[in-house]
Chain A
Amino acid sequence: MTSSPYSGFRDLPHKAQITLDLIAATDRGLHCAAGDFHIDPWRPVQRAIITHAHSDHARFGSDVYVCHRDTAPILRKRLGDITIETAAYGEILTRNGVEISFHPAGHVLGSAQIRVSLNGETWVVSGDYKLESDGVLPAFEPLRCHAFITESTFGLPIYRWRPQAEVFAAIDAWRRENIAAGRASILFAYALGKAQRVLAHVDAELGPIVCHGAVEAINALYRAAGIALPPTRLATEIANKKDFARALILAPPSAASSPWLKRFGDYSDALASGWMQVRGNRRRRGLDRGFALSDHADWPGLIAAIEATGAERVLATHGYAEALTRFLREQGFDARALHTAYGDDEDAGEAGAPPESGA
């Protein structure tokens, strides 16, 4: 393993420190040396500031986790008995003179951009975010900063989302077709975030909604946070199997082609994911339908968010970081790609093998 460029950092004279970046990528994750903390580290650290609870951003083994208060229950559920400190959106935490605050990212429950400020220099780490207000979460908040570390999962111009109302109308139409044909509708959606966004917007009058256990566990946390979701049931709670033919069944993508699906009889399957924008991705998975619905920013969203920060420096993580930053450089930004371990869940990769996580 290569050693961190910051090993022996504390021995450096004070002056040398301020010539360094406020936040830099190390082999453990994004590191703020001045504040002595990491953001979304992928290896254990002392103090981990967490943007959101998806597993590629919140990993096991750090001593203390600091996150938005809505993220905390999800972290506990996923990482067990850990030490957590929480903050509300906008609340300023100070550490070694460094100001740290959490701001809505619109990605999943509790998701935050992390604003880090020292002596008038401000950096923002976006985590994962989307610009469209989804009616479930507090909307993404544009922040002014000098340097912006942005995700770039869908950082190609082919990714331009339709307004969510259109996508949900398409999902409802697909369900009606299935109900008419007497078959169940199985919709794969990431268990944390996407599934609840779908729940909040599909037509709940069409028939029962059945959730996979992994989805139902997160539903409970959303409800506890005060988010209204329609009634849902577990598959085992449906006594009459005929009811499945009218049901919408929400399951994580990992349940695809698992024996869990056998109980539903005849069904049509679909995936709600930004990757479904490209037909080949859907056809490769052998799914009946693909709905391009994402909790990440699309290309116009990324560009708009970057421009709104007013930042001169842009660092892009996971996704199409090379393409996005090259484009930005040509527009006059000081932009470059950062190598991180985000977007590295399940069968993650580049466009060819899109990650399941939160997409």
Chain B
Amino acid sequence: MKAFAALYRKLDSATSTRAKQVAMAEFFSSAKADPTRWASAAWAVYFLAGGKPRQTAPTRLLWRLAVEGSRLPDWLCGECYGAVGDLAEMLSLILPEGAPRGEEASLDTWMRERLLPLPLLDEEERYGRLKLWAGELPGEERLAFFKLITGELRVGVSRLQVVKALAEVAGVDEARMAQRLVGYSQARRVPTAADFEALTGEVSHAEAQALDAGKPYPFYLAQSWSRPSAQMAATLGDPSDWIVEWKFDGVRAQLLKRGDEWRLWSRGEELISDAYPDLTPLARALPSGVALDGELVVLIPPEDDYSPDSLDGLAIFASLQQRLGRKVVSEKTMRELPVAFIAYDLLESEGRDIRAEPQHVRRALLEELVHRLFAEAKARGERLPIRISPAVSADTWEELDEKREQARALQREGLMLKAREGAYGIGRRKGDDRTDVWWKWKLDPMSVDAVVIYAERGHGRRSGVYTDYTFAVWSANEEPRELVPFAKAYSGLTDAEIREMDSIVRQTTVETFGPVRSVKPTQVFELGFEGIAPSKRHRSGVAVRFPRMLRWRRDKPVAEADTLDALKALLKGQGGPG
């Protein structure tokens, strides 16, 4: 625990990526040399890679500990929490420090023997133990301890950095390490000494095979094309060197079939097969040794549709949203919101990893496979929930730009550009702009001018500062009218602008409800978003996707902010119902 707390402090205080990586590599390599530390190191990897166990003590108990342990009134603990913005840190700051007692327990002991069994105990027993532990741990370890409970261990380390540090220590290449780590940080997983040994060991053939069974490949992530369209020819060359596809608004996933088993993995590397039984007929039809990359969407095909190239019946993202997070899927849901897989890449064919093959070769194999499956299925009178992501063709970048403009009406996010000769990479790769990148060429966001009416304090590096705002538009053009909230956003401002807004919020506060303040409507922002859908849950009747602040409209009086009609017009323009 001491070693882990020290690593946590180092990572937290390092500002450079390099320093963080050095700290991690040092930690892993010293752990590697000492088998008694493997189990704890396995936990460290789990947390650094983003793993979150189920919260072992409810926030209710932690709050009780804050109030009773500090002997402060509840409201004052609330003030403290507001100023710190992080419950674990607040607890480590206000609880009195006791004398360290007993012997040092390892991170593994803490997790497996103390924290994970906590939920099995009754409330008083759990509380008693928390209180005892909190009193015994010295300052630095106490912060780590509470972080283990709240699970908010983010220290600005990306998964890729963890991969790099581990690859360095193990002496294997990053691709292999990325693969070893797939699924490693799933919730409720209990990492073991053997896991750490396997992670940092050398690659043996049998081990590699065992490791690979059922695991997806690391996802290849696209980069945003944010330069002007005019630069495309100069940077990317001729459009004929590129395979262009639509960027679908769905959930990215890999579908694997190995032996008789099939698995569906999300981009967050969670196993999600169980949530999409709709895909079972497809999985059954697939040959063994196949890995498909694509997008999950809701698709309600017309009666007579037997083509894998037709996207008729593609529903808006909001429909898919109703399927997300559901663990149990009813027949009715599957009937009303059937999910299909839009395939755009083939990573494994006949059991062979073909990621190094050029994009156009992989795509040709994919088309061949899916057409064959469809022909076989049709012969059985069956329809398969899979489509091939259609290629978009044009002779010039200008022409493609025009096609991109149609994306909104088609409920798509824009275009994807994939070099014909490019391999399937790992993560968000930086290399040659012409061959090593998948480009996402998104639509310019929709936007309205909206008014800030509530503000909430942020977390992490924004703790204590009012950084999260609720935006509203006018209900009508003329009086009587009111401001109707429709979106919350917290990104898009510079640090200096955040400080300025923070002070405006404090000066214009009307009422305070816990962490939220209502403010006098004085500030207008141009609020951008990727999509808009009708919503019954929101008073405004709409829900927007990825809202963020594009520009502070200091020039605009509140009275001239946009109205609900502007949102409804965007809804119509997008082709959605409404």
Contact of A288 with B13 in the complex, beta carbons under 8 Å = yes
B378 contacts chain A at the CB level, 8 A cutoff: no
Give the residue name and chain of the B residue nearest to A320 (CB): B79
> Which stretch from A81-89, A115-123, A343-351 is at the chain B interface?
A343-351
Query: Of the candidates A157, A280, A284, A287, which one forms a contact with B94 in the assembled complex, judged by CB atoms under 8 Å apart?
Result: A157
B506 contacts chain A at the CB level, 8 A cutoff: yes
A268 to B457, CA, bound (A): 30
A5 contacts chain B at the CB level, 8 A cutoff: no
A277 contacts chain B at the CB level, 8 A cutoff: yes
* B:60-83 near A, CB below 8 Å: 70, 72-73, 75-76, 79-80, 82-83
List of A residues within 8 angstroms of B460 by Cβ = 280, 283
Give the residue name and chain of the B residue nearest to A286 (CB): B15
Query: Of the candidates B12, B72, B93, B465, which one forms a contact with A284 in the assembled complex, judged by CB atoms under 8 Å apart?
Result: B465
Contact of A350 with B495 in the complex, beta carbons under 8 Å = no
Contact of A352 with B13 in the complex, beta carbons under 8 Å = no
Give the residue name and chain of the B residue nearest to A278 (CB): B84
A164 contacts chain B at the CB level, 8 A cutoff: no
Given that A277-B93, A288-B15 are known contacts, is A352 also in contact with B466, CB under 8 Å in the complex?
A: yes
Secondary structure dominating the interface of A: loop
* B:192-249 near A, CB below 8 Å: none
Contact of A349 with B506 in the complex, beta carbons under 8 Å = yes
> Which stretch from A135-143, A234-242, A323-331 is at the chain B interface?
A323-331
Give the residue name and chain of the B residue nearest to A280 (CB): B463
Secondary structure dominating the interface of B: helix
Contact of A353 with B70 in the complex, beta carbons under 8 Å = no
Of B75, B83, B84, B502, most A-chain CB atoms within 10 Å: B83
Q: Indicate the size class of the contact surface on chain A.
A: 20 to 34
List of B residues within 8 angstroms of A282 by Cβ = 13
Cβ of B98 to closest chain A Cβ, rounded Å: 14
List of A residues within 8 angstroms of B506 by Cβ = 349-350
Given that A279-B89, A289-B13, A327-B73 are known contacts, is A158 also in contact with B461, CB under 8 Å in the complex?
A: no
Given that A287-B15, A323-B76 are known contacts, is A351 also in contact with B499, CB under 8 Å in the complex?
A: no
B531 contacts chain A at the CB level, 8 A cutoff: no
B428 contacts chain A at the CB level, 8 A cutoff: no
List of B residues within 8 angstroms of A289 by Cβ = 13
Give the residue name and chain of the B residue nearest to A351 (CB): B83
Given that A280-B461, A288-B14, A288-B15 are known contacts, is A158 also in contact with B83, CB under 8 Å in the complex?
A: yes
Give the residue name and chain of the A residue nearest to B92 (CB): A158
Query: Of the candidates A284, A323, A330, A349, which one forms a contact with B461 in the assembled complex, judged by CB atoms under 8 Å apart?
Result: A284
B414 contacts chain A at the CB level, 8 A cutoff: no
Contact of B499 with A347 in the complex, beta carbons under 8 Å = yes
Query: What string of 1s and 0s marks CB contacts (under 8 Å) between A193-211 and chain B?
Result: 0000000000000000000
B87 contacts chain A at the CB level, 8 A cutoff: no
List of A residues within 8 angstroms of B84 by Cβ = 158, 278, 280
Cβ of A142 to closest chain B Cβ, rounded Å: 24
Contact of B75 with A326 in the complex, beta carbons under 8 Å = yes
A43 contacts chain B at the CB level, 8 A cutoff: no
A288 to B461, CA, bound (A): 13
Give the residue name and chain of the B residue nearest to A268 (CB): B15
A281 contacts chain B at the CB level, 8 A cutoff: yes
* A:301-354 near B, CB below 8 Å: 320, 323, 326-327, 330, 347, 349-353
A193 to B422, CA, bound (A): 61
Contact of B73 with A330 in the complex, beta carbons under 8 Å = yes
Give the residue name and chain of the A residue nearest to B78 (CB): A323
List of A residues within 8 angstroms of B502 by Cβ = 349, 352-353
A137 to B413, CA, bound (A): 65
* A:153-181 near B, CB below 8 Å: 156-158, 160
Contact of B93 with A280 in the complex, beta carbons under 8 Å = no
List of B residues within 8 angstroms of A330 by Cβ = 73
Contact of A284 with B495 in the complex, beta carbons under 8 Å = yes
Cβ of A102 to closest chain B Cβ, rounded Å: 33
Contact of A278 with B13 in the complex, beta carbons under 8 Å = no
Query: Of the candidates B70, B85, B466, which one forms a contact with A280 in the assembled complex, judged by CB atoms under 8 Å apart?
Result: B85
B385 contacts chain A at the CB level, 8 A cutoff: no
Give the residue name and chain of the A residue nearest to B16 (CB): A288
Known: A158-B83, A287-B15, A288-B14. 7 other contacts (CB 8 A): A158-B80, A278-B93, A284-B495, A323-B79, A349-B503, A351-B464, A353-B499
Q: Give 4 closest A-B pairs by Cβ, nearest first.
A: A280-B463, A283-B461, A352-B465, A351-B83
Identify the A interface with B (CB < 8 A): 156-158, 160, 277-284, 286-289, 320, 323, 326-327, 330, 347, 349-353
22 contacts between A and B (CB under 8 A): A156-B83, A157-B94, A158-B80, A158-B93, A278-B93, A278-B463, A278-B464, A279-B12, A280-B85, A280-B460, A280-B463, A282-B13, A283-B461, A284-B462, A284-B495, A288-B14, A326-B75, A327-B73, A327-B76, A347-B499, A349-B499, A349-B503
